[in-house]
Amino acid sequence: MEALSPRDANAQRLPRVHELKTKAAAQVKSTKDKEHPPPPPNNVVEPPSSDRKDGVVYQVGKLLGKGGFAICYEGKAAGASKRVALKIVKSKMPTKMEQKFQTELQIHSKMRHQNIVQFHRAFTFENCTYLVLELCPNGSLMDMVKRRKGLTEAEVRFYTVQIAGAIKYMHAKGIIHRDLKMGNIFLDKYMNAKIGDFGLAALLLTGKDMQVMRRTTLCGTPNYIAPEILEKGKKGHDHMVDIWSLGIIVFAMLTSKPPFQSSTTDEIYRRARDRDYEWPSPETSSKYISQEAKDLVATMLQDADKRPDPDTIVAHPFFTSGYMPLASDINYKLREVAPENPAFYEPLNSQAQSLNLRNVQEMCRECGVGQWSESQLVFRNIWREMAEEEQNGLTPVIPLAEGVVYRPFDEVKNEQKLQARLAAQKMEKQSSQGLDKTYESRNAKESESRSSTESTQSQKVTSGLLRAPPQSFAAQQRAQHRPTTTGLSRSKTVTEPATRTVSLRPRPGRETTPAPSQPSSEEATPVSRMSTRSLRSQLAATRSKAISASEENAPAPRRSASMREKRQEERLSLFSPSEYQEEVPGTQPDVVLERLQKLQAELERALNARTMALVSSRDKTPSPPHIVVKWVDYTNKFGLGYVLNDGSVGCILRSIPSPEGPNPGMLPPACLLVHDAERHCMRKDDPNYSARHQIVPMKEGIYFYENNGESGITRVRVAPENFLVPMNSDGTVGKLSAGRDIYDHRKRERIVLWKKFANYMIAYGREMDNNSLTQSQRSATSAGETGEAEPAIRVPTITDFTAAPSDVVTFYQRFGDVGCWMFADGHMQFNFPDHTKIVLDSAGVWCHFWHLPKDAARRLEETGSLAESALDDRAVLSYPLQTLLNFAKPTSGGSSATTGSAGSGTNSRRRPVIPEELREIPAANQFRKKIEFVRDVVREWNANGGLGNSDLSRERRLRWTGVRETKGVPIPAKHVWVTIGARGGDERLAAMVDPRRPGVIGEDVDERRRER
C-alpha cells in the first residue's frame, strides 16, 4: 500500500502496535504455509493396514522434484524391487488447503487409466503426509520439450492421442483437471504420457435439469488458462478448459514454448482473450510445422462452445497425415535427442499410409478414444463413489491421523466383498454340518437347542467377518469420532472394472492367450492395482503357461531333462533384501521381445531397400558405442569375460550352483563391470600406484547386475572399499575376507572370479583392436609417474539412473565361431571369424562396421589366408544400415543435393556421396550376407518367443557359412553354441567343424568328461 499512497497522507497517524503484530504474524504465517516439508529420513514407515498387517518400510532414494507445497522422492518398499514415487506435504496446513487436499486424495485415488499416474495409498509419518504414487522415472513432458527445443510432429501425434484419451476418461468420470500443462504430464519408464497432480481438480456436478453446473474459481497456470476462467463471476467454466490446455500443450510441443507467453501475466491474459499468437516463420526457424498441425491447434483454441471433444480431436487429419510411432519407436533416448528413424521425417507413400492408419487406429483403441475405440465404456461418476465412500466411513480426514492408511476405495470394497464371501461360505459349511447332526439326533429338544446354538454362532460369524479388521481404515476413522457404517451399501450401478488398465500397446504380430473366464479371488484382487506393463507381463506369463502345456505333447530338441530340473531348483540372489535394487529399464523379456520384433522389421526393410538412406544436413553421425575388444570364453563352467574399448573390464556369468547358506540352489545369471580396470591391472607392478595391491580400482562404485527372469534385470551399487584387501604388518598383502553375510560373500566370490578373467585377458586376450591405451597413457605407465594419467577416452559414468547403461553386456550367444553380445541399452555386436564386427543400435537404424581392407578381404575369400598386417589396417564405417547395404550405388542423379522430405533449406534431407575408394568395401567384406545372418538370428529369437531362444538341434543349428581363414588354422576346429541370459534358459553344445566346409557339423564334443 505504501507504493500507492503518499507517505504524508497518513503522517499524523502512527500504526498501532497490535496492527503491526497482526500484519507481521500474517506474513510469517503465509511464508510458513508455503514452505516445503523437510527432506524425508532414509527410512519412512507406513503403519499397518488391512492389506499389510505388519506395515511397510520405504527406503527413500533420490529427489525427483519440487512443487508449490510438495516435494517428491523416489522410494522402494524394503524387500521389494518395484520403485514408487513418494509425494510429501506437511500434515499441518490451512483449513482451505485441507479441503483441497482432501478432494485431491479422493479424486486421484479413483482414477484408473493407463495415461494417468496411479495412486496407491497415503499415510502420515513424522508430521508429513506421504502419497505413494506410480513412479515416472523419465521426468515430465516439459523437461523433454525444453531439452529438445520442440518435438517432431510424429511424437506430437503419439502424445496427443494419449493425453486426449486420459482427458476423455476424466470427463466421463465427471472430473475437470483444470491444471493441465506439460509440467504435470509425466513420462513413465516406457516414455508413455501420464497425467498427474490433481491438486486443482474439481467435480463436474450435474443438476436436476441435467445441465452442467459450471465452476467459477480462478485457478490454473497463466500460460495454460482458458479465457472463460478469467471471467470470474460471469458464466464460469466447465470441462472445455482442459481442451484449451491441450491446445496450448500441442503448440508448445511443436515450438517449445506456449503461444501466449509474455513478460507479464496481464499480457498473457490479454493475448489469450484475443487469440493473439503466431507460429514460427521459416525465416526465423528451421523447424517445419505442417498446416494440419496448425489447424488442429486452432480448433482447440476457440470459444468453449466450439471446441472439439477428445473423440473429435483424434479424428483430425493431422493424425493420419504423417507417421504415427510404434511402441518400440519411443524410448528414453528421445528425452535428449531427436529420433533417428527416418520414418519420423519422411512423407507417407500410398503403402505406408494404409499401414500408418492401422497404427493410428490401434493407438486410439488402446487409449480408449476416437471413433476406432472398440467399446464405448460408461464410467461411474466419481461423486457417486465419493458418496458411497462417505457412507462407509472411509472419507479421509485431513490431516490423516498417525496410524491411518488411506487406500483407493475400490480396493477396500473388494476386500470387504471377499471377506463377506468367505463368511458366507463358512456359515454355509457350518449350517450343512448342523443339518447332518440334526438328522442323526432323535431328540427334538436337542435338535432345537442345537439349531438355536448354530443360529447364534452364524450371526457371530457373519458380523465378525463383515466387521472391518482392527487396523482397517473405518476402525481408525471411528477412533477420530467419525461416523461410520458397518457394511457396504448396495448399489445397482456397475462399478468401473479393474481391467480398464489394459496393456498400453500390445506387441504386434503376437497373439495373447485370454485370461480364464472365472479367475480365483486371489488372482482377481491384485489386478486392480497392477500397472499397464505389469499386466502385460501377467498376460505373457499366462501365455508361457499355455505354451509350456502344449510343449508336453511336442518334441523339445533344445532343452534336456537335466536343464529343466535345474530350472526347478530354488533361485537364490546376490542381493540382500535390505539393499537398494534398481530396475534396469527395458530389460524385461517382453520389452526386449518387442524391441527385437521392431529390429527384425527394420532389418527386413533395410535389406529390401535399393537406395541409400536419406540423411538430414543437421544429423550427426553417432559415435561408435561401447564394443568388446578382448574376451575369454569360459562358458563351460562360469561365463565370459570381456574388455571394452574404453578400458572397462566386465564379465557375464551363467547360472551357478550355490551350496552355501541354509537353502542351496542356483544363483541366476549375473553381470559385473568395473570401469578403468584394464589400466588398473596393467599398473599392478607400479610402485607409485597406491591401489596396485587391490583387486579393483578404488575410484568409483561397482555395479552388480542380476537377471531375474520375467522381471528383468536389477542392479546394486557396491562401494569399492567393500573389496579392500588389507596389508599385513610385515608389508605383505593380506587376503580378502569372507564378507559380512551370505550376500556379501557371494559378491566377493564373483569379484575374485572377475579378477581371474581380467588377469587372463590382459595377458592372453583373444582379440584387441589397435591398442587400448593411448600413447600418453603408455608413457605415464612406463615412466612410473606419481599419480595417475588421465585416459584419452573418458571412462563412462552413470549419470542418468533412469536409463539403461550402454557399457554392460547383459546377454551373450555364440553360433559356432560367431559371437554375439547384447548390451543393456539394446545395442548389439556381432563378431565374425574373418575378424570383422558389426555393431547395430537398438533400433537397427545405424550401423558401425569394422572391416578389413578391400584387397585383404578379397584375398581371404580367394585363398583362405590373411596377412597379419591386414588386422592392423582395419577401419570402421559408420552409416545408416540402409546406406551400407547400398554403398556401391551412386546417389540419384549423381549429385549430393538430392532432396528428401519437405522442409526448409537448412534442414534438407539427402543421400550421401560415398568416396570412390570406399564403395566396394562392404561387398568385399560380405556385409550383406552378414546382415542376413543377423536377420536370421533375430527372426529365430522372435519366432521362439525370446532373446537367445535358438534351435540347437543339429539340423537347424544356425552357423555362419561365409568367409573365414582356412590356412594355418586347426582342422577340424571346435565350434561352440552357447547362451548366457537367454529367456528360455541357457545351454552349451560343442562340435568339431572343418573350416573349409563350415555348413557341415562334425562329431559332437562331450565336454562333461573334461569337467569331471
Please give the annotated binding residues for ATP, written as ranges.
87
Provide the 8-state DSSP code for 695.
S
Counting Cα atoms < 13 Å in the Cβ hemisphere of 512 gives 18
* Cell numbers representing residue 67 in the block: 512443487
Counting Cα atoms < 13 Å in the Cβ hemisphere of 223 gives 16
Burial 769-786 (b: 16+ CB within 10 A, else e): beebbeeebeebbeeeee
Provide the 8-state DSSP code for 743.
H
Amino acid at 779: S
Pairing of strands 119-125, 128-134: antiparallel
Where are any strands of DSSP class E within 545-600? 582-583
> Which residues are documented as binding site?
87
Amino acid at 999: G
Would residue 986 show up in a list of annotated catalytic residues for this protein?
no
Sign of the C-alpha dihedral computed for residues 68, 74, 80 and 81 taken in this order: positive
Question: Residues 6 or more apart from 42 whose CB is under 8 A from it?
Answer: 59, 60
Distance CA 1010, CA 1012 (A): 5
Distance CA 655, CA 635 (A): 10
* Cell numbers representing residue 992 in the block: 568339431
Distance CA 570, CA 327 (A): 35
Give the closest residue to 167 by CA, choosing from 407, 371, 370, 330: 370
Please give the full DSSP string across 749-816, using - where no structure is assigned: HHHHHHHHHHHHHHHH-S--SS-SS-HHHHHHHHHT-SS-PPPSSPPP----TTSPPSS-EEEEEEEE
Query: Helix or strand or coil: residue 136?
Result: coil
680 φ/ψ sector (left φ>0, alpha ψ -120 to 50, else beta): alpha
Sign of the C-alpha dihedral computed for residues 295, 298, 299 and 300 taken in this order: positive
Query: Helix or strand or coil: residue 10?
Result: helix
Give strand pairing partners of 83: 76
Q: Phi and psi of 159, rounded to 5°?
A: -75, -30
Distance CA 809, CA 754 (A): 14
Please give the full DSSP string across 297-354, using - where no structure is assigned: HHHHSS-GGGPPPHHHHHTSGGGTSS----GGG--GGGGTS----GGGTSPP-HHHHH
Give the closest residue to 267 by CA, choosing from 255, 276, 279: 276
Counting Cα atoms < 13 Å in the Cβ hemisphere of 5 gives 7
Counting Cα atoms < 13 Å in the Cβ hemisphere of 958 gives 22
CB 64 within 8 A of CB 85: yes
Distance CA 293, CA 259 (A): 14
CB 410 within 8 A of CB 110: yes
Question: Residues 6 or more apart from 375 whose CB is under 8 A from it?
Answer: none
Distance CA 295, CA 241 (A): 19
Pick the catalytic residue from 54, 179, 685, 769: 179
CB 585 within 8 A of CB 804: yes
Sheet holding 582-583, edge to edge: 582-583, 713-718, 702-707, 670-674, 649-653, 639-644, 628-634
Give the closest residue to 39 by CA, choosing from 88, 77, 92: 88
Active site residues: 179
